[in-house]
Amino acid sequence: MRMYSDLAWIWPIISPPEDYIEEALEFTRIIKNNRATMLHLGCGGGHLDRTLKDHFKITGVDLSPTMLELAEKLNPECNYQIGDMRNVKLKETFDSVLIADSISYMLTEKDLQKAFQTAYDHLEPGGLFITYAEATKETFANNKVSHSTHQQDSLDILFIENLYDCNPQDTVYEAVFMFLIRQEGKILALETDKHTLGIFPLRTWKETLEKVGFEAIETKNSICNIPLFVAKKTF
Ligand SMILES: C[S@@+](CC[C@H](N)C(=O)[O-])C[C@H]1O[C@@H](n2cnc3c(N)ncnc32)[C@H](O)[C@@H]1O
């Protein structure tokens, strides 16, 4: 995925830390325990952590070294490590675990279960795990296009995103990204990227959380009204 490697420099411009403040504050309200420890799986460029770190002691894990470099630069006080949310094993446990938008990279029910198991294994008894479903089978709008424009110094970026489910029978869909990059004195650059993302029926989320041992409640992410799960490790 170019967005998390050679195009990672674009990430802070098209999706800046300020865009994550509300979401981070919502997680803070749910967890209610300031100064708790938090494991953030799939922490990306650390944009959520930028706000979360005022409330929690954060350990972030991500597959992409380039994204982790950005995260470390933004949040030098957090502890970042390379790892895959499906199998990473750290030596400590945490009061809370978060998997935000990066859960979308779980492409099969088996992978979803592995990520939830990682969360479970790294929680203290009584700890909370938060995650959410950006897309579900029930509500997916096929062939949706969105765009946004971004400006930084002499750089102008037009970002276009297209979401497409080629086969509603399987558990994946594709996100195609186009970037039109204009910079003073340079010719127009057109960059593209394609990500494969997971999509499941809503009930799969709750059933899979329960399968690994969580007591889960489904609520709504109040910012974009998508299903959000608060799961407790009861013992
Ligand atoms: C949209 S970015 C996350 C951005 C993040 N919310 C932030 O605050 O900057 C998605 C991230 O998921 C990571 N990712 C994808 N699959 C992963 C996996 N199996 N384990 C860990 N991280 C993964 C990617 O490397 C990428 O950095």
The answer to whether the beta carbons of residues 26 and 170 sit under 8 Å apart is: no
For residue 33, count CB atoms less than 10 angstroms from its CB and return exposed for 0-12, middle for 13-18, buried for 19 or more: middle
Please tell me the distance between residue 226's alpha carbon and the centre of ligand 1 in angstroms: 19
> Phi and psi for 221 in degrees, rounded to 5?
-70, 115
| Alpha carbon distance 233, 47 (integer Å) | 27
Q: What's residue 223's pLDDT?
A: 81
Q: Verify whether ligand 1 is closer than 6 Å to residue 105 (CB atom).
A: yes
Q: How confident is the model at residue 69, as a pLDDT?
A: 97
Distance 208 CA to ligand 1 centre (A): 21
Directed axis angle between helix 202-211 and helix 109-121, to 10°?
40
Predicted confidence (pLDDT) per residue in 71-124, tens digit: 999 999 999 999 999 999 999 999 999 999 999 999 999 999 999 999 999 999
For residue 136, what pLDDT is reported?
96
pLDDT single digits (tens) 202-224: 999 999 999 999 999 999 988 88
Q: Bridge-partner residues for 5, per DSSP?
A: none
**Closest C-alpha residue for ligand 1 atom 5:** 44
Residue 123 CB less than 6 A away from ligand 1: no
pLDDT at 163: 98
Structure confidence at residue 32 (pLDDT):
86
pLDDT at residue number 35? 75
Nearest to 211 by CA among 115, 103, 127: 115
- Please report the DSSP string for 139-203 in residue order: T--TTEEEEEEEEETTEEEEEEEEEE-S-TTSSEEEEEEEEEEEETTS--EEEEEEEEEE-B-HH
Report the alpha-carbon distance of residue 114 to residue 112 in Å, rounded. Answer: 5
pLDDT given for residue 235 in this prediction: 78
**Mutate which of 63, 66, 89 for ligand 1 pocket (most atoms within 8 A of beta carbon):** 63
Return mean pLDDT, the chain: 95
Which of 38, 64, 69, 195 has most ligand 1 atoms within 8 Å of its beta carbon, as the pocket-test mutant?
64
Residue 212 burial class via C-beta count within 10 angstroms: exposed 0-12, middle 13-18, buried 19 and up: buried
pTM over 0.85: yes
Return the pLDDT at 128: 96
Whether ligand 1 lies within 6 angstroms of the CB of 227 is answered as no
Give the per-residue pLDDT at 206: 96
- 1-6: average pLDDT: 96
Which DSSP category does 234 fall into?
A: -
Mind listing the pLDDT tens digit for each residue in 125-172? Answer: 999 999 999 999 999 999 999 999 999 999 999 999 999 999 999 999
**Distance in Å, CA 196 to ligand 1 centroid:** 13
For residues 27 and 11, what is the distance between their CA atoms, to the nearest angstrom? Answer: 22
Domains, the chain: 2-134+201-232 (3.40.50.150), 144-198 (2.20.130)
